[in-house]
């Protein structure tokens, strides 16, 4: 019976994939149209910005249910709590190491290019910097206390990913301790997960509208002039992020797992397009979870590494904070010493935790760090307000790539990956089901073990 079922699923997939293929072609067209409208009618384009904001809000609405279901299923179904602890500990260690590497690369390139020379601070620019500092995060203590929700249910509605992560882990461990008694709950959560992913696939059809509004609003607000004067910083930042992803992450991935970075990024191509059009890596978080499970990474690994990485593995943000700080210091005529660079950037790296995926959070962290370490440089933050959205896109893309690579690496190191399945997926032999967005690799194995419930 299993043999007869498999071909039917394979026949369904090409049709579904073709439909979504047209959807993402429409997203590309919408991005091009948004750029055109932004250049031709800037004032009108700015009014379209809420379209992009509404789409991102729809995606964010689904993030906490997706994370909750994924972690509860992953942790609750694994036999040993030590397995989850091993995954989490190794992931955090890896995140610290890679963030440090990203900081080092940003420092090297920033000191080599010396961006910011010849720019001037106006009164408007200074006020923009002060406004960003007001949005910066509070102390580390406030950040840690913010992980604890007001109630168990509020963790699913607060909008705070780390709160959802905490409650989902607690519930997952509780179900794990219940043994067979927790299986009905796990099956129920599994059904809820399928429902959540189906709703998410419906929301994705609004992606072209969201992309059009987001891009039109950005181009309408920024224009071309701001980009010309800050081209050195932008190009330097883009090149640095590319070097980090393709050279650093690509080398680590190849040497550790034998996986080609280009094959992995090609598999996640639609997610990169979604991030590019919305400037938020959070918009692709639910799809990354689904795709990593489909690629053969087990649920506990995906459930722990991906949500945690979105708060603690911010490689693109680390590079941005580094280069932006050096840019501002040079533009203000007050270059930072090496000691000041390291001190300031380590502070901002930790202050940025928990802000992943939020457009503009990186600049708020930058302003807060400068305000506490070198207040005289705060006025310079306004220099990069005009291009921050374009740099935000690159930050988000780099952060996303880093978390995808981290998931494969941690899965390999902890034995939580089906390498044969990963090879099939990256080779294109087992396409991702865009309609249900539910991994049918793991359930297929479970179905053989427990035919009755199916």
Residue range 4-13, pLDDT digits in tens: 444 444 444 4
What are residue 133's phi and psi, to 5 degrees?
-65, -30
pLDDT for res 116: 55
Average pLDDT of span 130-142: 53
Nearest 10 degrees: CA dihedral of 265, 270, 271, 276? 100
Closest CA to 213 of 67, 383, 57: 57
Model confidence band, residue 247 (pLDDT cutoffs 50, 70, 90):
very high
**What proportion of the chain, given as a percentage, has pLDDT over 70?**
72
| Residue 64 domain flag | yes
Confidence check: pLDDT of 251 > 70: yes
Instruction: Let me know if residue 454 belongs to a domain.
Output: no
Residues 296 and 418: beta-carbon distance below 8 Å: yes
pLDDT category of residue 265 using cuts at 50, 70 and 90: very high
Q: Which of 36-40, 132-136, 352-356 has the highest mean pLDDT?
A: 36-40
pLDDT of amino acid 117: 54
Where is mean pLDDT largest: 113-127, 151-165, 178-192?
Answer: 178-192
Q: Is residue 179 part of a domain?
A: yes
| 415 falls within a domain | yes
Residue predicted with more confidence, 132 or 368:
368
Nearest Cα neighbor of 268 from 237, 245, 298, 244 is 245
DSSP single-letter state for residue 337: P
Average pLDDT over residues 335-342: 77
3-class DSSP state of 417: strand
Q: Which domain holds residue 52?
A: 2-449
Length of the chain: 454
What is the average pLDDT value for the chain, to the nearest integer? Answer: 75
CATH number, domain with residue 23: 1.10.3860.10
Burial class from Cβ neighbours inside 10 Å (0-12, 13-18, 19+) for residue 337 reads: exposed
> What does the alpha-carbon distance between residue 364 and residue 401 come to, in Å, rounded to a whole number?
23
pLDDT band at residue 349 using 50, 70 and 90 as cut-offs = low
| pLDDT value for 45 | 84
Highest-confidence segment of 43-52, 71-80, 226-235, 357-366 = 43-52
Residue 275 counted as domain residue: yes
Higher per-residue pLDDT: 69 or 402: 402
Q: Choose between 82 and 303: higher pLDDT.
A: 303
Lowest mean pLDDT across 127-131, 138-142, 334-338, 414-418? 127-131
Tell me whether residue 35 is in a domain. yes
For residue 131, being part of any structural domain is answered with yes
Q: Which of 26-30, 138-142, 294-298, 327-331 has the lowest mean pLDDT?
A: 138-142
Answer whether residue 272 is part of any domain.
yes
Chain CA centroid to CA 436, Å: 21
Q: Which pLDDT does position 413 carry in this prediction?
A: 92
Domain count, the chain: 1
């Amino acid at each position: 019976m299993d043999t007869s079922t498999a071909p039917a699923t394979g026949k369904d997939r090409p049709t579904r994939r073709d439909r979504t293929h047209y959807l993402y072609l429409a997203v590309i067209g919408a991005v091009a149209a948004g750029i055109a409208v932004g250049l031709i009618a800037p004032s009108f384009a700015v009014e379209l910005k809420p379209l992009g904001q509404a789409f991102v809000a729809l995606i964010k609405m689904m993030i906490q249910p997706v994370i909750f279901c994924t972690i509860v299923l992953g942790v609750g179904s694994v036999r040993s709590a030590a397995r989850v602890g091993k995954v989490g500990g190794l992931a955090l260690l890896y995140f610290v190491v890679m963030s440090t590497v990203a900081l080092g690369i940003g420092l090297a390139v920033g000191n080599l290019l010396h961006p910011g020379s010849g720019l001037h601070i106006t009164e408007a620019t200074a006020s923009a910097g002060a406004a960003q500092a007001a949005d910066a995060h509070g102390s580390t203590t406030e950040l840690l206390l913010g992980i604890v929700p007001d109630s168990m249910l509020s963790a699913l509605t607060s909008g705070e990913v780390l709160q959802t992560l905490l409650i989902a882990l607690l519930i997952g461990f509780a179900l794990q301790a219940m043994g067979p008694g927790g299986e009905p709950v796990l099956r129920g959560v599994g059904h809820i997960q399928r429902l959540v992913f189906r709703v998410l696939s419906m929301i994705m059809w609004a992606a072209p509208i969201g992309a059009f509004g987001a891009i039109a609003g950005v181009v309408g607000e920024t224009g071309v002039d701001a980009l010309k004067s800050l081209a050195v910083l932008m190009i330097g930042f883009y090149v640095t992020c590319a070097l980090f992803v393709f050279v650093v992450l690509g080398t680590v991935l190849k040497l550790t797992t034998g996986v080609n970075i280009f094959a992995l990024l090609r598999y996640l191509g639609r997610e990169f397009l979604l991030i590019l059009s919305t400037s938020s890596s959070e918009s692709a978080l639910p799809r990354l979870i689904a795709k990593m499970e489909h690629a053969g990474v087990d649920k506990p690994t995906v459930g722990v590494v991906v949500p945690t990485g979105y708060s603690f593995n911010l490689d693109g943000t680390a590079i941005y904070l580094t280069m932006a700080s050096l840019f501002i210091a040079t533009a203000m005529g007050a270059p930072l010493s090496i000691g000041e660079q390291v001190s300031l950037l380590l502070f901002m790296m930790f202050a940025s935790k928990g802000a992943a995926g939020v457009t503009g959070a990186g600049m708020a962290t930058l302003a807060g760090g400068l305000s506490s370490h070198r207040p005289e440089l705060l006025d310079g933050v306004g220099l990069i307000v005009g291009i921050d959205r374009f740099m935000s896109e690159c930050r988000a893309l780099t952060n996303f790539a880093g978390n995808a690579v981290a998931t494969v690496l941690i899965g390999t190191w902890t034995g939580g990956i089906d390498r044969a399945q990963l090879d099939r997926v990256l080779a294109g032999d087992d396409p991702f089901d865009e309609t249900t967005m539910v991994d049918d690799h793991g359930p297929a194995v479970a179905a053989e073990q427990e035919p009755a419930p199916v």
